[in-house]
Amino acid sequence: MRRYPDRVPATELAQALGLKPNTLSTYVNALMQAGLISQERVRTSLRYAIDMDAARETVDYLLHDCCRGRPEICAPNAYPASTGDSPMTDCKYNVLFICTGNSARSIFAESLLRDLAGDRFVVYSAGTKPRSELNPFALKVLERKGHDVSVLRSKNISEFQGADAPDFDFVFTVCNQAANEECPSWPGQPISAHWGLPDPVKVEGSDAERSLAFHQTYGALRNRMTGLTALPIASLDRMSLQKAVDEIGQSNEEGPSQ
């Protein structure tokens, strides 16, 4: 569910859940028989994705049958009034980008959205296991593209979980590892999506090859930020907005190289 709409390899599911392969196989077979997930073979790898319609029907059943149509019976805080289908108000939106190290991808996303639409979005980034310093290749890319890197630093996600933290309207994970980890509970239930990209930090080779990987990641994220800023957020209901940001996350094209 955290990686929706991605298809996730079985080995990655087993690692994220701490399960042995044979135990995972038993569980996914049961879920497939129930119609809650689907399976696809990609070369030698089996990949799984949740069927969102089936999951929604299951939740609806639990709500209307088991809870007798009264969600407060089952979970007093699970369905706040703010999660209805009314459009988001036309205001300045708080956005958080999360990855593991907070040294490249989430820093790219923060810088891009701030510079593309800082009048509409207040942008933050954080890491689940942040590095002490930002990646030097990432900084070079940002400087070449004209971004102000003096405002950037690597931050732990815990900085945004206290009482004084901003209330987020959007929360995006931009790496698979961060998406697989236990998600904190964000007040107000913001729109969330997984916009995972390969980690350019892990690319090996010459400096030119590594630099190219960072430029490609920057370009892909720039495309996604452009898609986000083009959305008529104030006129979309929650379900339509969620679908739109999910679709943006499926775009893996590189951005312009200039």
User: Is the CA virtual torsion 67, 69, 72, 77 positive or negative?
Assistant: positive
Whether a cis peptide bond, with omega within 30° of 0, leads into 5 is: yes
99 labelled catalytic: yes
Tokens of residue 32, six digits:
């497939």
Tell me if residue 176 falls in helix, strand or coil.
helix
Pair 136, 213: CB distance under 8 Å: no
Q: Is 91 noted as a catalytic residue in this protein?
A: no
Q: Are 74 and 62 in contact (CB under 8 A)?
A: yes
* The amino acid at 54: A
Helix H or strand E encompassing 124: strand 121-127
Which residue in the list 66, 67, 74, 183 is annotated as catalytic?
183
By annotation, the residues acting in catalysis are: 99, 175, 183
